[in-house]
Structure 1
Amino acid sequence: MRSDPSPSRPFMVCRDGEAVPGGLEGAVAAIGNFDGVHRGHQSLIRMALEAGRPAAVVTFEPHPRTFFRPSEPLFRITPEPVKLAILRRIGLDGAFVRRFDARLASLSAGEFVDLLAQDLKLSGVVIGHDFHFGRGREGTPALMKELCAARGLSCRIVEAVRDGAEPVSSSAIRAALEAGDVARANELLGYRWFVQGEVRHGDKRGRLLNYPTANMRLPEDCRLRYGIYAVRAAVDGRPVDGVASFGRRPTFDNGAPLLETHLFGFDGDLYGKVLDVELVGWIRGEEKFDSVEALVARMDRDSDEARQILATDRTASMIE
C-alpha cells in the first residue's frame, strides 16, 4: 500500500449532499463497513489502490447493525474518526461516507448501484466475496458484477483473508479485545489497535502515587476487558511508551470506566489534547488492593512488564 499521503495530496471525505470532489471523480472504491480496517478490509483496499485510478472507500455511518438493531449496542473497533484516520494513513485518496438510514436501506440492488455510478461517479468497485446490498440484502456479489457491467463499472470480488483456519473478521477482533487478548486482535488487524480521546482532568491521584496519568473516556460501547496494558502513545508526533489501566479503579472509587495512561519519562501537559494510544500487550486483569502501598508495588512490576512487552513487539503502527 502507499505510504502516508503527503500534505500536497489531501484525503477527501465526501458525505451525503456534497458534490463529489474533482479528485475523487472516476474513483475505484472498495465498499464495506470497514469496522477495524483489518487485514481482510485491507485486501479490498489494496485492490482499489492498484487499479490506477483515484482510490477510495464507500462506507456507512452509523454501522448498519446499529440501524437495524438499535437496542443492541455494537462495540465499534474503530469509531468513525479513527476509521477515517486509518484509511488516510493507508494511502487512499478519500472516502465516501453514506448515512445509513431508512432511505438507504430501502434502495433496491439496482438503485444502490445507480447511486455508485451516478451520485458518486465511480468507475469501479471492489467488494468482498460475502458482500450483500440493497433492500433485504437482495444483492449478491454475482448480481453486483452484473449490475456494474450494465452501467460501465468494473467490479472485482475478493476472497476472504484467513489467519490459519479462521477468517479475519471484525467479530473475531471484538471477541479478542473483550478477552483482553490485544496481541491476537492486533494480529488480525495487521496493526496495533488504538483508541483516540481527549485527555481530561482527573482527581490527580496518580501524581500522589508517582504515576501521573493521562485520563480518557472511551466510547460507551467499548467492551475492552478491564485490566492493565502495555501501550504506546503518539505525543506531538513522537511515540512514547507507557502502561495503562482501563477500568473502574476498585481500590478507590469503582467509578465510571477510564483509560488511565502513564507515559514513561514524560512530564508535559496533555490536558485538552486528543491523544492516540495503542494497546500493545496484556499484563493482568483489574484488581482491588488492600493498601496503596500494595498497589504501587504492583504498578512498579506492571511497568517493568510493559517495558519488556514494548521492547519486543514488532507489530505495525498506525499512529507513528
Structure 2
Amino acid sequence: MVSIGNFDGVHRGHQLMIQTLVQHARTHKVPAIVFTFDPHPIHLLRPEFAPPELMTIEQRAEVLQELGVDCVIAYPTDHALLNLTAEEFFQQVLCDQLQARGMVEGPNFYFGKDRAGDVALLGQLCERAGMFFEVVEPTICGSRMISSSEVRKSIQNGDITEATSMLGRLYQITGTVGHGAERGRLLGFPTANLTDIKTLIPAGGVYSGVGTIAGKQYPAAIHIGGNPTFQHDEAKVEVHLIGFSGDIYGQALQVQFLEQLRGTQTFTDADALKTQLLIDVESAKKLACQWIDLQ
C-alpha cells in the first residue's frame, strides 16, 4: 500500500492520510510505504521558487515511521523521472518497481510530467490495474485547509500557535551552537547562537520555547533577528536556556517553539533592553514550564 508526496512537516492532514494508509495496509497484509522525493522536484524545475523546508528528509522519515509506516522511500529526483508522463510514472514506478497493491492519496495530488495527472486519472489507472484506491478528505483548521504551504505561512508570520494547531505538535528547528558577540552574557542572559539551521526559521521576534541539549529539556527564551539597539542588523537565532550553565559550543541544540512573545524592538539603551529581557525570560519560563510539566 503506497502514498506518494512530499510530506513536509508531516502535518495533521498528512497524519490522517498516513493513518488511513496504515489501516488499509494492515487489512490487506502488505507493507505501508511512503514514496517521497529527494530533493523536491521544484528544486530541479524552478529552484528560485523552492520554499524553505519545515523538516529535513531524515526528520520526515522518523516521524512517518513513528506513525506506523513500514518503509519510507526517498527517491532521488532527476530529470528522467520528471519527464515521465503520468501513465509512464504509474506503470514504471508504482506497478513495475513497487508492485503496489493499492494507493492512498490526498485530494491535491498531482503526478507525471507538468503535473498532468490528478486523483481522477490516478483512480482510473488504479481501477484498470486492479488496485485499491482511496482519496482522503482535506483536514481543516479554522477556515484554512491544512497544507505545508499554510503551515509555512504561519511560521513566517510568527503565528506559532496557528502552526502548532496545523502540525499537531510544536514546530522545531535544530542547529549547531556557535560563537556570537556575547552581548547576552554581558547583560546577564547568556545565549547559544544557532548555526547551520537547515529548515525554516520563524519570523523575527522573541519566543518562548523548549531547548533540548544532550537529551535534557530546558525552558528557553529565543530571539530571532538582528539587534537594532546595538546597530547590528545581521539576523541570528539566539537561545537562552533558562536554568542551564555550561559549555555547549559545537553541540547540536533542538529548539521547539511555543509562542511569540513580541516582535523585534529597538531600545534606548542597554538598561532598557535588560529590563525587557527580564520580562521576556519570566514569560518564556512560565509558558515552557507549563508545557514541560504536561509531557
- TM-score where L is the length of structure 1: 0.82
Partner Cα distance (1:197, 1:85) in 2: 18
Correspondences of 1:158-307 after superposition (within 5 Å)? 158-217=136-195, 219=197, 222=200, 224-307=202-285
In 1: Cα distance, 2:238 partner to 2:58 partner: 21
- Name the counterpart of 2:11: 38
**Any residues of structure 2 matched to 1:30-179 within 5 Å, and which?**
30-50=3-23, 51-52=25-26, 53-114=30-91, 115-179=93-157
CA distance in 2, matches of 1:95, 1:254: 43
Other structure's SS at 1:248 match: strand
Residue 227 of structure 1, CA deviation: 0.4
Instruction: Please identify, of 88-97 and 244-253, the stretch whose mean Cα deviation from structure 2 is larger.
Output: 88-97
Aligned mates of 1:235, 1:93 — CA distance in 2: 29
Structure 2's unaligned 5+ residue stretches are none
* Distance in 2 separating the partners of 1:183 and 1:208: 32
Secondary structure class of the residue paired with 1:287: coil
Q: Residues 206 and 286 from structure 1, CA distance in 2 versus in 1: closer, same or farther, beyond 3 angstroms? A: same
Moved over 6 A (4+): none
Distance in 1 (CA, whole Å) between partners of 2:75 and 2:50 is 20
What one-letter code is carried by the residue in structure 1 that aligns with 2:13? G
Q: Secondary structure at the match of 1:251?
A: helix
Report if the CA contact (8 A) 2:100-2:131 is conserved: yes
Q: Which runs of 5+ in 1 are unaligned?
A: 1-27
In structure 2, C-alpha distance between the alignment counterparts of 1:256 and 1:91, rounded to whole Å: 42
The one-letter amino acid paired with 1:100 is T
- Report the Cα offset of residue 313 of structure 1: 4.7
Instruction: Give the drift of 1:262.
Output: 0.7
User: What is the aligned partner in structure 2 of residue 19 from structure 1?
Assistant: none
Deviation at 1:269?
Answer: 2.8
Cα RMSD (Å): 2.3
Are the equivalent residues in 2 in contact too, given 1:215–1:261 (CA < 8 A)?
yes
CA distance in 1, matches of 2:39, 2:261: 33
CA contact (8 A) 2:19 2:67 kept: no
Note the C-alpha offset of 1:220.
7.8
Query: 1:12 maps to which residue?
Result: none
Instruction: Give yes or no for contact 2:224–2:235 (8 Å, CA) kept in 1.
Output: yes
Q: State the TM-score, normalized to the length of structure 2.
A: 0.89
Once structures 1 and 2 are overlaid, which stretch shifts more, 184-193 or 218-227?
Answer: 218-227
Partner of 2:287: 309
1:60 is displaced (CA, Å) by 1.5
> How far did residue 303 of structure 1 move?
0.9
What is the aligned length?
289
1:33 Cα offset (Å) = 1.1
**Which amino acid in the other structure matches residue 285 of structure 1?**
G
Question: Contact 2:56 / 2:199 at 8 angstroms: preserved in 1?
Answer: no
Q: C-alpha offsets along residues 140-174 of structure 1, whole Å, 9 cap, x if unaligned? A: 21221232344454322111111233211122212
Query: In structure 2, what is the Cα distance between the partners aligned to 1:221 and 1:192?
Result: 14
**Residues 173-197 of structure 1, C-alpha deviation per residue, up to 9 Å, x if partnerless?**
1221121110011101111010111
Distance 2:65 2:176 in 1: 21
Identity of aligned residues (%): 34
